[in-house]
Amino acid sequence: MEMTRRGTSPIGTDASQARRRRGRRSGEYRAEQERLAPFEEIARLVIKHRAALGLTQAELAARMGTSHSAISRIESGQHRTSLATLQRLAEALDVRFVAGFESGPKERPVRELVSV
């Protein structure tokens, strides 16, 4: 894609730049970004493991006994995912689901995890 002198594409800024700019302007938008951050992290992990297995969303859905649209919603990072669904995802992706608690300072957290 051809870039302009300002470093943007002819169709505008990339999504991450636009998100940062909007976050600087709106506290409400920033709060929503923070609320969705864990779901976006889960989405990235699901996509990573699904891709490593060479599965489509439809194939992963079939392994889980759910719909393609359910996988799409999870991978969008915009929706809560239940613990039961996360367990089923882990099984379908041939990984272990781990849950736990974190305490102490954010810089040096103490994590207590259990494989579910």
Residue 56 belongs to a domain? yes
Domain with 108, as residue range(s), is: 37-115
| pLDDT average, residue stretch 45-56 | 97
Residue 15 belongs to a domain? no
pLDDT at 1: 44
| pLDDT average, residue stretch 39-64 | 97
With beta carbons less than 8 A apart as the criterion, state whether 23 and 33 touch.
yes
Residue 20 belongs to a domain? no
CATH number of the domain that 75 lies in? 1.10.260.40
Residue 23 belongs to a domain? no
Residue 50 belongs to a domain? yes
pLDDT at 73: 95
Q: Please state the domain count of the chain.
A: 1
Residue 6 belongs to a domain? no
Residue 105 belongs to a domain? yes
Residue 87 belongs to a domain? yes
Label each residue of the chain as H, E or C: CCCCCCCCECCECCHHHHHHHHHHHCHHHHHHHHHHHHHHHHHHHHHHHHHHCCCCHHHHHHHHCCCHHHHHHHHHCCCCCCHHHHHHHHHHCCCCCEEEEEECCCCCCEEEEEEC
Q: What is the pLDDT of residues 2-41, one digit of tens each?
A: 444 455 555 666 766 776 777 677 788 778 788 888 899 9
The answer to whether the pTM exceeds 0.85 is no
